[in-house]
Amino acid sequence: MDAWTGHDVPNLPGDAPTLKLYDSARRSVQPVTPGETATMYVCGITPYDATHLGHAATMIAFDLVNRLWRDAGHRVDYVQNVTDIDDPLLERAARDGEDWVVLAMRETALFREDMEALRIIPPAHYVGAVESIPAIAGHVRDLVAKGAAYRLEDGTGDVYFDIAAAPRWGYESNLSRDEMTTLSAERGGDPERAGKRDPLDPLLWRGAREGEPVWDGGDLGPGRPGWHIECATIALNLLGDTIDVQGGGSDLLYPHHECSAAHAEVLTGAAPFASHYVHAGMIGLDGEKMSKSKGNLVFVSRLRADGVDPMGVRLGLLSGQYRTDREWTDEVRKAGEQRLARWREASAAPSGPSGAGLVAAVREALASDLDAPAALAVVDAWAEAALSGAGDDTTAPKLMAEAVDALLGVRL
Ligand code: 5CA
Ligand code: ZN
């Protein structure tokens, strides 16, 4: 499907430092070492409701990765999916008496608008689950042929992945079996289901059910794909057997990314599937994770309709480090808007402290596991100095605006 419209990103003078990111698998901050082309897969929305500030924060975090790679001279091959068929989408459509296809199209269209407003560089490939079904079914058949998947013998036609076939099972999330079982039950899995070889085995193909949409699965029979194989297939088909960064929110650490990696590694024999598994913290409201199922949401589109500058929203979300669980509050929003106004003022100053120094310091902060709060503090200090008449670099205000645009995605 189509992504959203991009924008020009200014080129900055000077050299970029090596990006270091926290890898959930190794549980440490490690340098990212892509080739000429850097590859990234980020788990996108399930489009049954509007984009909330949590989605926005996660997309902004990976947009920083994209920007830093570009700044370092890499070509970036970035893929993002849309889970445009899954249980929550069907449940919401049924609740509202709406066609699930129409619901998915509408919310995906709104997401695109929100991403564009927030100046997220679009992925090179924006891919829906539905359009990928023939490829997903092919991968499920391959897993069956390899003896890594099996059909339940209860007449449903449901096919499961055998986690015993994944030699590295558990390396991505580093969780105990008990923790995996709990999270599996909370996040779309079915550890209680009878007939599985292992309670943690994830669904690969759901056999046809009365009243549910179905697709031809060839030897699998009619049905629809499971969730983890969707992302494994889309990533493998567009980016190759291994990728530099697998990204998403921390709610995807287990089971989603563990299972996607296990599927991919059994299919290709190449491991690890991703050099870095990168997880953004959860944005909350009033002490709870913002989530569609809880309904405690602040929508990007609502803020836009209320006249809040999306660049202020972006600065509000960047005021916390991406891995930190944090709250969206009115204070965060106001601080973002105030900072935006101050930076705009400063970018119109006749001169300021060294522009090259500013660029280097912002790059350094962001290369250190995307320390956006440190980058914002660098720009704040430069802005206050420029506004108080300090510094005589007359090229600096323009360079400051370009650096903030290129590296932080904030257009002044
Ligand atoms: N379609 C799947 C991924 S394949 C999914 O998780 N969809 S989603 O709509 O629930 O979330 C979309 C992206 O936003 C995911 O990367 C998810 O981890 C992230 N996300 C969801 N809620 C939050 C939140 N409250 N804070 C930060 N990120 C979030
Ligand atoms: Zn995913």
Per residue in 5-38, pLDDT (tens digit) is 999 999 999 999 999 999 999 999 999 999 999 9
Q: Quote the pLDDT of residue 289.
A: 78
Q: What tokens were used for 411? A: 């257009």
Ligand (nearest to CA of 228): 2
Ramachandran class of 317: left when φ > 0, alpha when ψ lies in -120 to 50, beta otherwise: alpha
Q: Quote the pLDDT of residue 294.
A: 77
* Total residue count of the chain as it appears in this document: 412
378, 187, 201: which is closest to 282 by C-alpha?
Answer: 187
Q: What tokens were used for 303? A: 């803020």
143, 24, 53, 50: which is closest to 336 by C-alpha?
Answer: 53
| Residue 23 · residue 275 · CB < 8 Å | yes
Q: Quote the pLDDT of residue 138.
A: 98
Residue 350 alpha carbon to ligand 1 centre in Å: 43
Q: Where are the alpha helices (DSSP H) in 30-96?
A: 53-71, 87-95
Ligand (nearest to CA of 235): 2
End-to-end CA distance of the chain: 31
Q: What is the fold of 20-284?
A: Rossmann fold (3.40.50)
Q: Quote the pLDDT of residue 132.
A: 98
Regions of the chain short of the pLDDT cut 50 = none
Q: Quote the pLDDT of residue 288.
A: 79
Q: Quote the pLDDT of residue 296.
A: 79
Q: Is 51 in the pocket of ligand 1 (CB under 6 A)?
A: no
**Class (C level, CATH) for 330-408:** mainly alpha
Residue 44 alpha carbon to ligand 1 centre in Å: 7
Query: If you write DSSP's letter for every residue of 187-200 in order, what string do you get?
Result: TT--TT-TT-SSTT
Mutation choice for ligand 1 from 40, 42, 55, CB with most ligand atoms inside 8 A: 55
Residue 244 annotated in ligand binding: no
Centroid of chain to Cα 61: 8
**Residue 283 CA, closest ligand 1 atom number:** 26
- In the chain, domain spans: 20-284, 330-408
Q: Quote the pLDDT of residue 287.
A: 80
**Residue 250 CA, closest ligand 1 atom number:** 18
Q: Quote the pLDDT of residue 285.
A: 84
Give SS3 for 306: coil
Q: Is 246 in the pocket of ligand 1 (CB under 6 A)?
A: no
Residue that is written with structure tokens 């991009």 in the block: 6
Q: Quote the pLDDT of residue 229.
A: 98
Give CA separation, 114 vs 110, 298, 304, 375, in Å.
Answer: 6, 13, 8, 24
